[in-house]
Amino acid sequence: MSRLGFMWANLFRRPVRTWLTLVSVMIAFLLFVLLRTVSHSFSEGGGFGEPGIDRLMVSPKYSIIDPLPISALQQIAGVDGVLAVTHGDWFGGVYQDRANFFPKYPVKPIPHFEMYSEYLIDPQHLEAFANTRTGAVAPLAMAVKYGWKVGDKIPIEGDIWAKKDGSRNWEFDLVGTYAAPEDQQQPGVFLLNYAYFDEARDFGEGTVGWFTVRIADTERAAEIANAIDALFTNSLNPTRTMTEAEQARQFMQQIGDIELMMTGILAAVFFTILLLTGNTMAQALRERVPELAVLKTIGFSDGAVAALVLGEALLLCAVGALLGTALAIGAAVVIGPGMEEAMGVFEVSGSTAASALGLSALLGLVVGAVPSFTAQRLSIVDALRKQ
């Protein structure tokens, strides 16, 4: 029997109580690791890549579900300093199963790839995309993932958009693939031909979700954005224009709020665990006062007995944390592929696992501190007399 074995045996003096505590600690750490992983995936940019420094985004001022008229494109193009304008929209839709989530944008093929020149597409695929009404292109990684090849028909069930005949069954011809920049973790966007989409949809014809603008001089970004918004200030469709970098910054701000929320949830969970585990340890100590006195009698020093009690708290928290982290890693393996579309790579990082173990040590120290101190100060004679 080692000291570790002795601590382990002591922990299971009341097996049901210990198991219940262990499961609580394990669930707390499962939550901790999963939420940290979600937060980490978002903060890594969610795979959205580096925003273009010479691009502006023109969105509806009040809500992303308000459409903008496509006629605004010409007005924006006429603003001094604007080099090019294109547009996009949110298609939504489900491919086979809701778990297969990936963004789908109706775009104008050639202007889109001119605007986003960091995305590489074979000229023949681009030409096919531009010339095929029902054409669509997918990022290579997405095509590989779903086993698509050029020439396949990709069925999408519209959840926002129905067709003029009332059907929600959209079918697109995969005419090509494109490559995303290497630093982009997110698999990218399934692009479909705007002309077909606009013609076939049952409402909203002639509108878009947003415009993307390339400008000549990044120093004038704010001035040009103001000029664009000024065009539509008193219209039915006021706009809000900002650089892609600013949009990314605002997105990150929202993630910051999510992180704050997660931190709040975890703080509440761990406070509860602290009370629960602390109570377990305190109860265990009360039940063992004579035994601890016997340990001291047979030669365990005050420090050795204190270390034993503290070690039990640390062991309980460490085992709970290890089980919780292992479960979270397993869960990430299972649910990760489904999450990657939304937030890029979803896997438990080494730093998250390490922080879980660090937190378990802290929890063990806090939980074990008082019982350990009490055990250290325990008087042998008094404890034996109370038997």
Partner 1 sequence: MTVVSCKGVEKTFIKGRESVEVLAGINLEIEEGDFLALMGPSGSGKTTLLNLIGGLDHPSAGSVVVGGQPLAEMSAKQLAKWRSANVGFIFQFYNLLPVLSAQRNVELPLLLTALSSKQRQANAAAALQIVGLADRAKHKPGELSGGQQQRVAIARAIVADPGLLVCDEPTGDLDRDTADEILKLLETLNGEYGKTIIMVTHDPKAAEHAAQVLRMDKGLLVENAA
E strand segments, 108-245: 120-121, 135-139, 153-157, 169-179, 190-193, 207-208, 210-215, 239-243
221 CB-near residues (< 8 Å, 6+ apart): 56, 215, 243
Q: What is the rounded radius of gyration, in angstroms, for the C-alpha atoms of the chain?
A: 30
Nearer residue to partner 1 within complex by CB, 43 or 379: 379
Asked if 217 and 81 touch (Cβ cutoff 8 Å), the reply is yes
Closest distance between partner 1 and the C-beta of residue 313, in Å?
Answer: 17
Nearer residue to partner 1 within complex by CB, 13 or 220: 13
Query: What is the residue whose two structure tokens read 């944008």?
Result: 105
Asked if 156 and 168 touch (Cβ cutoff 8 Å), the reply is no
The region of 8-16, 63-71, 164-172, 222-230 touching partner 1 under the rule CB under 8 A is 8-16
226, 263, 297, 351: which one contacts partner 1 (CB under 8 A)? 297
The region of 5-13, 108-116, 229-237, 268-276 touching partner 1 under the rule CB under 8 A is 5-13
Longest dimension (CA), the chain: 95
Look at residues 255, 184, 188 and name the one whose alpha carbon lies nearest to residue 38. 255
Closest distance between partner 1 and the C-beta of residue 306, in Å?
Answer: 12
> Is 386 one of the binding residues for partner 1 (CB under 8 A)?
no
94, 276, 369, 380: which one contacts partner 1 (CB under 8 A)? 380
Nearer residue to partner 1 within complex by CB, 263 or 379: 379
> Is 283 one of the binding residues for partner 1 (CB under 8 A)?
no
> Is 266 one of the binding residues for partner 1 (CB under 8 A)?
no
195, 222, 304, 369: which one contacts partner 1 (CB under 8 A)? 304
45 CB-near residues (< 8 Å, 6+ apart): 185, 248, 344
> Is 2 one of the binding residues for partner 1 (CB under 8 A)?
yes
> Is 10 one of the binding residues for partner 1 (CB under 8 A)?
yes
Closest distance between partner 1 and the C-beta of residue 314, in Å?
Answer: 18
Nearer residue to partner 1 within complex by CB, 7 or 192: 7
The region of 9-17, 56-64, 126-134, 356-364 touching partner 1 under the rule CB under 8 A is 9-17
> Is 286 one of the binding residues for partner 1 (CB under 8 A)?
no
Nearer residue to partner 1 within complex by CB, 254 or 301: 301
> Is 80 one of the binding residues for partner 1 (CB under 8 A)?
no
179, 240, 300, 319: which one contacts partner 1 (CB under 8 A)? 300
Three-state SS annotation for 153-172: EEEEECCCCCECCCCCEEEE
Nearer residue to partner 1 within complex by CB, 12 or 271: 12
For every residue of 22-90, DSSP letters joined together read HHHHHHHHHHHHHHHHHHHHHHTGGG--PPPTTEEEEEESS-TTS-EETTHHHHHHTSTTEEEEEEE--
> Is 1 one of the binding residues for partner 1 (CB under 8 A)?
yes
> Is 62 one of the binding residues for partner 1 (CB under 8 A)?
no
> Is 254 one of the binding residues for partner 1 (CB under 8 A)?
no
Q: How far does CA 162 lie from the centroid of its chain?
A: 30
Asked if 273 and 359 touch (Cβ cutoff 8 Å), the reply is no
Tokens of 209: 């979700």
Closest distance between partner 1 and the C-beta of residue 17, in Å?
Answer: 13
Distance from the first to the final alpha carbon of the chain: 27
Nearer residue to partner 1 within complex by CB, 13 or 98: 13
What pairs with residue 55 in β-bridges? Answer: 214
Tokens of 165: 């005949």
Nearer residue to partner 1 within complex by CB, 65 or 298: 298
Site pattern 327..366 for partner 1 (x: CB under 8 A): ----------------------------------------
**Which residues form the interface with partner 1 (CB under 8 A)?**
1-3, 6, 9-10, 12-13, 290-291, 294-304, 380-381, 384, 387
